């Protein structure tokens, strides 16, 4: 066994050993930038906040830029994974754990104790500490003081932009990676960060709406306050909420059919964007073991069921009984939901039963339990009280456990431990929906190039979703997996050119083989026909 | 229950075992002296380079073997007694078989150089070689220079490995250009330049004369045959090809040449004894193939084939069209069909190279019939399936050149070169 893990657990042999002087300077710049943020966190009252904020963020970005240029532009184009399992930070060594603890701590404070970041701690509810440092930027963009979410959004965007740049340099021989990364950088900066601020300037009653964040990932869009917020804002609000509905029921299925779930997960989504850029150094840490896959399939579908039931219950509670208020009454709504789920279920069972195999049974159990739950809720819901309490506590449980702890604290805080996409893999209900579709109704697949695989394992190693890509490739079989986000890194790192992400016809997409191309044609026919 | 014993847990032995299990309920034992579990030899380099850990080179999780009832035995087979159908292990153990498959792979060539067994001199084939390299070349302070002897696929991998830890490398290649026994001139020259671009001290037409020892029996330097120059170094990598790992068989009744002699059914001269993979030598070469095919894919194909025979459906080893691939530092290489370093009689080559000097192709075709014979491609990925089909259909070279884009396998959004290639091809025809 390799003794590498021991190396990286020691503080005495830090990674810095192998970096150039220029990179050391770059690191110092970045650390100074972070240090300013730390000082602000501990309530240093900077005189000119705008200046220090600019300085801090500027230094962080500059440091990352200089560091990456030195790391990649001084070498020939190609795969740059040397030493990723040696470096302490990227191999669950001591630096990895330290970073993990810091990130996790940050998320806990952010979600549960924003006052420690200085939210509204000053006179008259003004901000202090870290949050106040971001006031000037927030004022500039939307004319209001910063919130913890603004601070988080800014840092998040900076991370995607700076590490996105690094990623583009790392893959400067790979146009797919570059274009995809520019895309996530664009969507983060524009759709998640700037547009919502400008929307606020135009109409400050509108709820925050990141247009690219789709239900069920955006689990609060159908909350009562949110829906009311939209509806009380006339046509624009109505258009926005309609867009939210169309996004999941129309746009998503069409794009996923044509391109696979990657159009969202690796090109648009902010969670995915952070994982692909800032999380890139940790992608190989995801577990490829069979038990991890089993756990994944249970967890992610449970979260999906949870979010569907929770949203249905939420909407249900604020709908009226009476047709006179609004055509959408509780019973109409519940019938719509049940009808919709049933159509999907029957359709899948009719057309795709074979492909699902054993999973069909679990699918059926899941489906019937959701329907049963909805019906029970509907009929016990007549006792308003019980039901009201239930729906709202469901909603807050979802917000805390899934929205905050799972996606933030574990999903991102544990990057250096669990790999960069543990939220996308184990928890994201949007990924579950897209993946379900990708597995059954999509032109997307990763084509395996005949018999060229040498079972080296580079592909599996770098799959952030923990897919054992090699398992399929070494059998000459295409990879059609619901969890694949189409990041294309497996294809990039394959030293034998075995993998290609592509959209082609559905026919022959799934092609289990026993004997690979290159052998006796008669033998292939004999063995593969079964 | 019939007991099938396989010596060697490499790709050929393991493929065989998997397929026998699919087809039957026979008792299967795989013997190996190297590692407990099957790993991918081709990935050893990535472990040293830190892309992966050793466990990631194992294609199957450890529970796989028990679940599929494949027994694993660790031990070195010292003797095979074919009369009593018994294996004799180095530690004294014995094992009975009903059918025996020899899949013992290769070992690095050593050509009797003085000093070739010193400490710090190593091949790059087994897991033990990797451990040895880790010991002698952990970083550039311990290993101030490494000298690699032999310019083949493993040599260039070793150079890339050492390079990843910033260890200076001198690469001694006997030929006048890298791997030019296999690659046509233009390609070989491009790879020469690529190696040098990686700051590797490539010495062409250069032979090793002697390896010198320090007072502790460790490598101190090498002497170059042609110039007598002495190069100080701490590690010497011997990568001048491999040969079948069959010394322990020489005393048995099994017929050997360079490898274990087999017929087209992969049977040896002794009933119920077979050989597959790197260590098998065909009595007569199959088509343009060599009698000993020491590549991953052929080991796998032999395993797939022999499983049928062992399970009662006796079939010949009948490989399809030749293909192979490799990676030279940052440049990927694939080949389909036959492209020889020097075109044979009645054959012609069309060569195209991109100006960035990292991409090129060579297409071989028959001068008279224009039949497409094969393609080498560097820096552009191509589809195995399409070329296999074209070779079977015996397409002519014009057809292939005009449909090259159907065969492109590069990732989406990559620049395409088919038009460039086609116009170069058409120009060449006009001037020819
Ligand atoms: C660094 C490297 C890179 C390579 N890259 C490529 C590539 O890119 N593409 C390609 O096609 N090929 C490549 N090859 C060649 C390829 O790995 C071999 O062709 C293939 O592994 C041979 O498989 P095998 O099953 O025949 O034997 P092996 O994999 O050699 O397995 C034989 C096993 O038998 C064991 N054994 C031998 N004798 C005994 C005994 N007496 N008792 C017990 N056990 C014994 C050995 O220890 C070994 O574990 C590469 C080889 C190396 C070394
Ligand atoms: S299988 Fe490949 S493309 Fe899909 S998520 Fe894994 S690494 Fe990315
Ligand atoms: S990286 Fe390529 S060659 Fe290696 S196991 Fe994966 S598909 Fe096979």
Q: The tokens of A457 are what? A: 């394992």
**Residue pair A471/A457 in contact by the 8 Å Cβ criterion:** no
Same domain, A46 and A128: yes
CA distance A467 to chain B (A): 13
The answer to whether residue A414 is domain-embedded is: no
- Res A122: pLDDT: 84
pLDDT tens digits, residue range B106-128?
999 999 999 999 999 999 999 99
Whether omega for the bond prior to residue A216 falls within 30 degrees of 0, making it cis, is yes
In a domain, A362, yes or no: yes
CATH of domain B3-107+243-310: 3.50.50.60
Please answer yes or no on whether B412 and A456 come within 8 Å at the CB atom. no
pLDDT band at residue A14 using 50, 70 and 90 as cut-offs: very low
Give exposure, B124-140, as e/b (b: 16+ Cβ within 10 Å): bbbeebbbbbeebbeeb
Minimum-distance ligand 2 atom for the alpha carbon of A491: 2
Q: Which positions in chain A touch B59 (Cβ < 8 Å)?
A: 455, 457, 470-471, 474
The rounded distance, in Å, linking the Cα atoms of B22 and B31 is 20
- The CA distance from A497 to the nearest CA of chain B, in Å, is 6
B229 at A interface, C-beta within 8 A: no
pLDDT tens per residue across span A95-126: 999 999 999 999 999 999 999 998 888 888 88
Distance B106 CA to ligand 1 centre (A): 6
Mark yes or no for CB contact B59/A457 under 8 Å.
yes
Mark whether A368 and A452 lie in a shared domain.
no
Asked if residue B420 has pLDDT above 60, the reply is yes
A525 touches chain B (CB under 8 A): no
pLDDT for the residue numbered A370: 82
Do A381 and A461 fall within a single domain? Answer: no
Distance CA B265, CA B316 (A): 5
Q: Is the CB of A463 under 6 A from ligand 2?
A: yes
Mutation test of ligand 2: which of A421, A460, A467, A501 has the most ligand atoms closer than 8 Å to its C-beta?
Answer: A467
Distance A489 CA to ligand 2 centre (A): 6
Residues of B in contact with A288 (CB under 8 A): 56
B79 membership: H or E segment, kind and range: strand B77-81
Q: Taking residues B381-393, report their average pLDDT.
A: 97
A450 and A514 within one domain? yes
Task: Please check whether residue A481 lies inside any domain of the structure.
Answer: yes
Give the minimum alpha-carbon distance from B185 to chain A in angstroms, rounded to a whole number.
22
Q: Do A461 and B308 touch (CB under 8 A)?
A: no
The partner residue sitting opposite B327, judged by closest CB among A491, A495, A516, is A495
B286 touches chain A (CB under 8 A): no
Q: What is the mean pLDDT of residues B408-420?
A: 97
Q: Which of A138, A168, A203 is the last residue of a domain?
A: A203
Give the residue from chain A lying closest to B414, CA to CA: A175
**Residue A6 confidence (pLDDT) above 60:** no
B207-228 mean pLDDT: 97
Contacts of A379 (CB under 8 A, 6+ apart): none
Quote the mean pLDDT of chain B. 97
- Shortest-distance ligand to the CA of residue A444: 2
- Residue A496: strand, helix, or coil: coil
Starting from the CA of residue B38, give the closest ligand.
1
CB-based contacts of B315: which residues, under 8 Å, 6+ apart? A520, A522, A523, B265, B305, B308, B309
* pLDDT band at residue A4 under the 50/70/90 scheme: very low
Taking the C-alpha atoms of residue A131 and residue A37, their distance in angstroms, rounded to an integer, is 10
- The neighbour count for residue B21, using CB atoms within 10 Å, is 17
Question: Which DSSP symbol is given to A72?
Answer: I
Residue B299 alpha carbon to ligand 1 centre in Å: 9
* Sheet-wide strand order for B230-232: B208-213, B219-224, B230-232
Q: Is residue A123 part of a domain?
A: yes
Question: pTM of the prediction?
Answer: 0.94
What's the CA angle centered on B208, arms B205 and B214, to 5 degrees? 150
| DSSP single-letter state for residue A147 | -
Between positions 431 and 470 of A, the ones with CB within 8 A of B are 447, 449-452, 454-458, 460-461, 470
Which residues are CB-contacts of A489 (< 8 A; sequence separation ≥ 6)?
Answer: A177, A283, A462, A463, A464
Domain assignment present for residue A40? The answer is: yes
pLDDT at A389: 52
List chain B residues with CB under 8 Å of A514: 19, 22, 304
Return the ∠ at Cα A62 (arms to A56 and A67), rounded to 5°: 130
The residue to mutate among A260, A280, A444, A490, having the most atoms of ligand 2 within 8 angstroms of its beta carbon, is A490
Q: How confident is the model at residue B2 (pLDDT cuts 50, 70, 90)?
A: very high
Nearest to B40 among A449, A456, A491 (CB): A456
CB-defined site of ligand 1, < 6 Å? A 454; B 7-13, 31-34, 41-42, 44-45, 76-77, 103-106, 124-126, 154, 157, 245, 248, 277-278, 294-297, 299, 326
pLDDT tens profile A420-462? 999 999 999 999 999 999 998 999 999 999 999 999 999 999 9
B321 with A518: Cβ contact below 8 A:
yes
Ligand 3 pocket, residue A498 CB under 6 Å: yes
Count Cα neighbours of B21 within 13 Å in the Cβ-side half-sphere.
18
The reported pLDDT for the residue numbered A321 is 66
Number of domains in chain A: 3
Separation CA A120–CA A113 (nearest Å): 12
Selecting from B320, B330, B358 the residue whose C-beta is nearest the C-beta of A518 gives B320
B408 touches A at CB < 8 Å: no
Burial class (CB in 10 A: 0-12, 13-18, 19+), A253: middle
- Each residue's pLDDT tens digit, B21-53: 999 999 999 999 999 999 999 999 999 999 999
Q: Which residue has the higher pLDDT, B271 or A313?
A: B271
What's the token pair of residue B241? 């090809």
CA distance B347 to B340: 10
Residue A435's CB is within 10 A of a number of other CB atoms, namely: 28
- Residues written for chain A: 530
**Tell me, what CATH number does A512's domain have?**
3.30.70.20
The class that CATH gives domain B121-240 is: alpha beta
Measure A7 CA to ligand 1 centroid, in angstroms.
29
Say if A281 falls within a structural domain: no
pLDDT on residue A12: 43
Neighbouring CB atoms inside 10 A of A30's CB total 20
Integer angstrom CA distances of residue B180 from A495, B151, B204, B341, B342? 21, 9, 11, 6, 9
- The predicted pLDDT at position A169 comes to 98
Question: In chain A, whose CA is at the least distance from the CA of B317?
Answer: A520
Range with the poorest average pLDDT among A342-351, A431-440, B297-306, B363-372:
A342-351
The whole domain housing A479 covers 440-528
- Paired with A500 in beta bridges are A447
Better-scored residue on pLDDT, A196 or B220: B220
Q: What per-residue confidence (pLDDT) applies to B188?
A: 98
Mean pLDDT of the B167-185 span: 97
Q: Which residue has the tokens 């150094």?
A: A281
Q: What is the ipTM of this complex?
A: 0.96
- The number of residues in chain B equals 432
* Minimal-distance CA residue to ligand 2 atom 8: A487
- Whether residue A491 lies within 8 A of chain B, CB to CB, comes out as yes
- Does residue A394 lie in a domain region? no
SS3 call for B239: coil
Which CATH fold would you assign to the domain B323-431?
Enolase-like; domain 1 (3.30.390)
Handedness of CA A483, A485, A491, A493 (dihedral sign): negative
How many angstroms separate the CA atoms of B185 and A269, rounded? 48
**Chain segment A278-330, per-residue pLDDT in tens:** 999 999 999 999 999 999 999 998 889 888 888 888 788 777 766 666 677 88
B304 close to A (CB below 8 A): yes
**Domain spans of chain B, in order of start:** 3-107+243-310, 121-240, 323-431
Percent of chain A past pLDDT 70, that is, above it, reads 93
A27 and A130 fall within a common domain: yes
The whole-number average pLDDT for the span B90-114 is: 97
For every residue of A282-345, DSSP letters joined together read: GGGGS--SHHHHHHHHHHHHHHHHHHHHHHHHHHHHHS-S-TTT-S--HHHHHHHHHHHHHHHH
Say yes or no: CB of residue A487 within 6 Å of ligand 2. Answer: yes
Q: How many CA atoms lie within 13 A of B117 on its CB side?
A: 1
User: A457 and B329 in contact by Cβ < 8 A?
Assistant: no
* Residue A334's pLDDT band (cuts 50, 70, 90): confident
Nearest-by-CA chain A residue for B35: A1
- The reported pLDDT for the residue numbered B431 is 64
- A172 lies within 8 A of chain B by CB: no
CA distance A330 to chain B (A): 48
Residue of the CA atom closest to atom 4 of ligand 3: A456
Which range has the worst mean pLDDT, A88-92, A393-397, B287-291?
A393-397
Q: Locate the ligand 2 atom nearest the alpha carbon of residue A479 and give its number.
A: 1
B51/A519 touch (CB, cutoff 8 Å), yes or no: no
Nearest to A497 among B296, B381, B388 (CB): B381
Are A518 and B308 an interchain contact pair (Cβ–Cβ within 8 Å)?
Answer: no
What does each C-alpha distance from A418 to A285, A412, A413, A432 come to in angstroms? 6, 9, 9, 19
Determine contact: B64 vs chain A, CB below 8 A. no
Contact yes or no for B22 and A76 at CB 8 A:
no
Reference B71, options B89, B44, B97, B43; nearest CA is B97
Write down the pLDDT at residue A507: 87
Same fold, B121-240 and B323-431: no
| Ligand 1 atom closest to Cα of residue B303 | 25
Name which of A450, A454, A488 is nearest B296 (Cβ-Cβ): A454
- Tell me which DSSP letter residue B253 carries: S
Q: Long-range CB contacts (< 8 A, 24+ apart) of A69-73?
A: A69/A169, A70/A20, A70/A22, A70/A23, A70/A26, A71/A23, A71/A166, A71/A169, A71/A170, A72/A166, A72/A169, A72/A170, A72/A172, A73/A169
Q: Confirm or reject: Cβ of A484 under 6 Å from ligand 2.
A: yes
Do B321 and A455 lie within an 8 Å CB cutoff?
Answer: no
Verify that A383 and A466 share a domain, yes or no.
no
């Amino acid at each position: 066994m390799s003794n590498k893990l021991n190396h990286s657990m020691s503080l005495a042999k830090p990674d810095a050993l192998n970096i150039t002087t220029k990179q050391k300077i770059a690191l110092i710049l970045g650390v100074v930038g972070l240090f300013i943020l730390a000082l602000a966190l501990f309530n240093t009252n900077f005189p000119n906040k705008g200046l220090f904020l600019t300085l801090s963020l500027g230094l962080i970005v500059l440091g990352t830029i200089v560091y990456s240029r030195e790391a990649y532009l001084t070498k020939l184009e190609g795969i740059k994974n040397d030493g990723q399992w040696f470096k302490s930070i990227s191999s669950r060594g001591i630096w990895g754990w330290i970073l993990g603890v810091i990130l996790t701590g940050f998320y806990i404070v952010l979600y549960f104790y924003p006052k420690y970041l200085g939210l509204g701690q000053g006179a008259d509810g003004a901000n202090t500490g870290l949050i106040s440092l971001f006031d000037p930027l927030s004022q500039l963009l939307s004319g209001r003081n910063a919130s913890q979410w603004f601070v988080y959004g800014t840092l998040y965007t900076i991370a995607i932009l700076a590490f996105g740049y690094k990623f583009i340099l790392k893959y400067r021989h790979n146009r797919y990676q570059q274009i995809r990364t520019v895309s996530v950088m664009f969507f983060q900066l524009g759709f998640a960060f700037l547009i919502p601020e400008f929307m606020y300037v135009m109409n400050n009653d509108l709820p925050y709406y990141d247009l690219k964040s789709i239900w069920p990932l955006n689990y609060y869009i159908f909350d009562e306050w949110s829906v009311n917020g939209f509806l009380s804002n006339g046509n624009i609000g109505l258009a926005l909420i309609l867009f939210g509905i169309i996004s999941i029921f129309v746009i998503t299925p069409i794009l996923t059919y044509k391109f696979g779930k990657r159009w969202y997960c690796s090109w648009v989504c902010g969670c995915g964007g952070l994982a692909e850029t800032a999380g890139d150094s940790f992608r190989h840490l995801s577990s490829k073991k069979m038990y991890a896959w089993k756990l994944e399939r249970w967890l992610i579908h449970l979260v999906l069921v949870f979010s569907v039931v929770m949203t249905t219950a939420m909407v249900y509670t604020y709908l009226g009984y009476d047709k006179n208020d609004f055509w959408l009454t509780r019973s109409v709504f519940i019938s719509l939901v049940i009808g919709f789920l049933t159509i999907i279920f029957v359709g899948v069972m009719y057309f795709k039963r074979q492909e699902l195999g054993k999973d069909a049974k679990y699918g059926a159990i899941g489906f019937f339990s959701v329907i049963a739950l909805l019906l029970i809720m509907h009929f016990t819901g007549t006792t308003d009280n019980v039901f009201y309490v239930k729906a709202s506590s469901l909603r807050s449980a979802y917000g805390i456990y899934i929205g905050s702890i799972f996606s933030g604290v574990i999903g991102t805080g544990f990057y250096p431990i669990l790999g960069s996409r543990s939220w996308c893999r184990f928890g994201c209900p949007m990924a579950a929906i897209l993946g379900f579709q990708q597995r059954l109704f999509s032109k997307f697949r990763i084509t395996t190039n005949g018999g060229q695989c040498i079972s080296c394992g580079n592909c599996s190693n770098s799959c952030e979703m923990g897919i054992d890509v090699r398992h399929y490739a070494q059998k000459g079989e295409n990879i059609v997996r619901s969890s694949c986000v189409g990041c294309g890194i497996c294809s990039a790192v394959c030293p034998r050119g075995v993998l290609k992400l592509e959209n082609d016809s559905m026919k022959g997409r799934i092609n289990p083989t026993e004997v690979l191309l290159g052998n006796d044609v008669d033998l292939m026919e004999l063995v593969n026909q079964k | 229950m019939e007991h099938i014993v396989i010596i060697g847990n490499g790709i050929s032995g393991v493929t065989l075992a998997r397929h026998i299990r699919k087809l039957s309920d026979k008792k299967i034992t795989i013997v190996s002296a190297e590692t407990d579990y099957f790993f991918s030899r081709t990935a050893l380099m990535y472990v040293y380079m830190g892309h992966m850990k050793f466990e990631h080179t194992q294609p199957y999780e450890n529970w796989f073997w028990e679940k599929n009832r494949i027994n694993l035995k660790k031990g070195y087979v010292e003797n095979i007694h074919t009369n009593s159908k018994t294996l004799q292990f180095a530690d004294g153990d014995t094992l009975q078989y009903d059918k025996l498959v020899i899949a013992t792979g290769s070992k690095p060539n050593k050509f009797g150089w003085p000093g070739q067994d010193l400490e710090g001199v190593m091949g790059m084939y087994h897991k033990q070689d990797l451990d040895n390299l880790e010991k002698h070349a952990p970083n550039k302070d311990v290993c101030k220079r490494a000298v690699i002897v032999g310019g083949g696929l493993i040599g260039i991998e070793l150079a890339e490995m050492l390079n990843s830890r910033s260890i200076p490398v001198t690469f001694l290649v006997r030929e006048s250009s890298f791997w030019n026994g296999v690659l046509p001139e233009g390609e070989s020259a491009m790879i020469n330049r690529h190696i040098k671009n990686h700051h590797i001290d490539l010495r062409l037409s250069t032979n090793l004369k002697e390896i010198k020892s320090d007072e502790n029996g460790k490598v101190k330097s090498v002497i170059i045959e042609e110039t007598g120059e002495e190069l100080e170094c701490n590690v010497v990598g011997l990568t001048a090809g491999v040969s079948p790992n069959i010394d322990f068989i020489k005393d048995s009744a099994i017929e050997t040449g360079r490898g274990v002699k087999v017929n087209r059914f992969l049977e040896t001269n002794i009933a119920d004894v077979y050989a597959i993979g790197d260590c098998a030598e065909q009595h007569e070469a199959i088509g343009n193939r060599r009698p000993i095919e020491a590549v991953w894919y052929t080991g796998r194909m032999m395993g797939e084939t022999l499983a049928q025979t062992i399970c009662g459906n006796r079939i010949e080893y009948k490989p399809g069209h030749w293909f192979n691939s490799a990676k030279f530092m940052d440049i990927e290489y694939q080949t389909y069909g036959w492209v020889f370093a020097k075109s044979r009689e009645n054959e012609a080559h069309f060569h195209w190279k991109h100006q960035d000097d990292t991409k090129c192709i060579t297409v071989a075709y028959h001068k008279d019939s224009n039949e497409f014979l094969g393609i080498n491609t560097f820096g552009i990925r191509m589809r195995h399936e399409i070329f296999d089909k074209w070779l079977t259909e015996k397409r002519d070279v014009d057809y292939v050149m005009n449909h090259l884009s159907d065969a492109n396998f590069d990732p989406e959004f990559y620049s395409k070169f088919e038009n460039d290639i086609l116009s170069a091809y058409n120009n060449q025809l006009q001037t020819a």
